[in-house]
């Protein structure tokens, strides 16, 4: 039996030409499809897009971020445990980083500051677990802001250390006198504050007062002098070499 019901658009379109209405429907559908497929992307900043596979993972100045990925099986060959006096438990970093960090922590201790490593080398699989636990508990958008996807964490390089101070809470490291000490002295030992507050849009990560990256004394001093971040420093550095 033929239905006498008229399609909805004819009723709505009493004062609107059918063609115009259809066009509007297509535009709305198109927008909804775009939103659906980009809702999990950092659409405006291009993070996790055009990802480059890292070819110099052993380089002290290696750039690991949301656009530069380490291979799944990369593990530095010269990992060594940090002296337990300066680490919460067994924490591994590359040999050069170990001596630099121990010298830093020793000097700080002599001056009355307690700087302790709480996280250092993390394997691809461990990062995978960590990232997905954030996704599970707080959603993908939050996870992407405060945790790196596997292969995109510089903890996998053995060049990064998260630290805590006298309050024993790395999340509140910014409130400690140790943080002030690090701001003044970290570069003297080759470390930089990797995710400064004012460069969140460049690094792609939220401000992390506890996360330090070893880049060697020369680069650390220049980055501190220029008040810049690793991404911008390397960009300028490569440009000046060209």
Is residue 91 within 8 A of residue 108, CB to CB? The reply is: no
Stretch that binds Zn ion, among 26-34, 70-78, 176-184, 205-213 (CB under 5 A): 205-213
Give least dist CB 212 to Zn ion, A.
Answer: 8
Q: How many residues at the interface with Zn ion, by CB under 5 A?
A: 2
Local structure of residue 167 (DSSP, 8 states): T
Specify burial of residue 123 (Cβ count, 10 A radius: 0-12, 13-18, 19+).
middle
Residue span 46-75 as binding mask against Zn ion, x where in contact by CB under 5 A, dash where not: ------------------------------
203 vs 228 by CB, closer to Zn ion:
203
Q: Are strands 92-94 and 79-81 parallel, antiparallel or unpaired?
A: antiparallel
Give least dist CB 211 to Zn ion, A.
Answer: 4
Stretch that binds Zn ion, among 23-31, 87-95, 183-191, 209-217 (CB under 5 A): 209-217
Binder among 149, 152, 211, 213 for Zn ion (CB under 5 A): 211
Give least dist CB 119 to Zn ion, A.
Answer: 6
Give least dist CB 223 to Zn ion, A.
Answer: 17
First-to-final CA distance of the chain: 77
144 vs 162 by CB, closer to Zn ion:
162
Structure tokens at 30: 């198109």
User: What are the strands, taking DSSP E only, across 82-186?
Assistant: 92-94, 116-119, 160-164
User: Is 162 one of the binding residues for Zn ion (CB under 5 A)?
Assistant: yes
Residue the block writes with tokens 């919460």: 88
113 vs 212 by CB, closer to Zn ion:
212
Number of CB atoms found within 10 A of residue 139's CB: 11
Is residue 187 within 8 A of residue 224, CB to CB? The reply is: yes
Residue the block writes with tokens 């330090």: 212
User: Is 102 one of the binding residues for Zn ion (CB under 5 A)?
Assistant: no
114 vs 147 by CB, closer to Zn ion:
147
Stretch that binds Zn ion, among 76-84, 140-148, 210-218, 229-237 (CB under 5 A): 210-218
**Residue nearest Zn ion by beta-carbon distance:** 211
Question: What residues form DSSP beta bridges with 47?
Answer: 42
User: What percentage of the chain's residues is helix, strand, coil (to nearest 5)?
Assistant: 50, 10, 35
Which residues lie near Zn ion (CB under 5 A)?
Answer: 162, 211
């Amino acid at each position: 039996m033929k239905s006498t019901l008229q399609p909805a658009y004819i009723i709505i379109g009493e004062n609107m030409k059918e063609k115009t209405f259809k066009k509007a429907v297509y535009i709305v559908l198109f927008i909804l499809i775009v939103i659906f497929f980009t809702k999990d992307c950092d659409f405006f900043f291009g993070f996790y897009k055009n990802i480059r596979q890292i070819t110099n993972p052993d380089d002290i100045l290696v750039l690991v971020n949301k656009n530069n990925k380490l291979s799944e099986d990369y593990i530095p060959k010269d990992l060594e445990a940090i002296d337990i006096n300066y680490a919460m438990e067994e924490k591994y970093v590359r040999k050069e980083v170990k001596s630099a960090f121990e010298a830093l922590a020793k000097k700080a201790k002599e001056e009355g500051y307690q700087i302790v490593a709480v996280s250092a080398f993390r394997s691809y699989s461990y990062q995978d677990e960590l990232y997905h636990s954030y996704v599970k508990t707080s959603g993908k958008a939050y996870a992407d802001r405060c945790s790196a996807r596997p292969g995109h964490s510089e903890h996998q390089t053995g060049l990064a250390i998260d630290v805590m101070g006298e309050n024993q809470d790395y999340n509140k490291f910014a409130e400690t006198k140790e943080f002030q000490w690090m701001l003044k002295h970290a570069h003297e030992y080759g470390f930089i504050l990797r995710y400064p507050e004012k460069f969140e849009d460049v690094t792609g990560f939220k401000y992390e007062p506890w996360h330090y990256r070893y880049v060697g004394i020369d680069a650390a001093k220049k980055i501190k002098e220029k008040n810049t971040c690793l991404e911008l420093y390397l960009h300028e550095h490569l440009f000046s070499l060209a």
